[in-house]
Amino acid sequence: MTFIAEEHNEKIEHLDGVPWFSAPVPPREHECWAQTRGYLYQSLVIVERCACGGIHNTNYDGWLEKNSRAVPEEVEAQMDALEDRLVWLQRTQSLCLGVLIAIGFILLFWALAEVF
C-alpha cells in the first residue's frame, strides 16, 4: 500500500489512490489510519483523514470526528427492522399471489364444468 499524489495537486496523497471519502467505511471499533494526507504551510503541518471521517494533524494527538461517516446505531437498527419487514412483506405478497392464482384456477374449472 502506497500513497499516490493527486494529478492536479501533489500536496494531497491518497492511500492506493483512493480518497478518504471514497474508501469503504471501516467498522466502528477500529484504529484510525491515514487514508488521505495533505501537506500545509510548506509541509510544516500534515493533515490526515481516515476512511471513517476522522481528522488528525501534527499539531495535536489523537483523531477528531471519528466515525463521522458511519451510520448512527439507532438508524442502523431501524434499517435492520425495515429490512426484516420488507422480507415479511415479500413473503406475504408471494403467498397472496399464490392464493389468487389458485382461486383463479378453481373458478376456471368450475366455469368449464358448467359449460360441458
- 37-77 per-position pLDDT tens digit: 998 877 678 899 999 999 998 888 889 989 888 777 777 77
What was the pLDDT predicted at 112?
A: 86
- Stretch 4-18: mean pLDDT, rounded? 79
Asked if residue 51 belongs to a domain, the reply is yes
Question: Does the residue 66 lie in any domain?
Answer: no
- 8 Å CB contact between 25 and 51: yes
When divided into structural domains, the chain yields a total of 2
Amino acid at 45: V
CA distance 54 to 70: 11
Residue-range definition of the domain harbouring residue 29: 3-57
Say if residue 77 is in the same domain as residue 35: no
Higher pLDDT, 71 or 101: 101
Residues 36 and 78 in one domain: no
Does 52 share its domain with 7? Answer: yes
CA distance 37 to 12: 6
Same domain? 39 vs 77: no
* 53, 78: one domain: no
Domain boundary residue among 13, 28, 57? 57
On whether residue 65 sits in a domain, the answer given is no
* 52 and 80 co-located in one domain: no
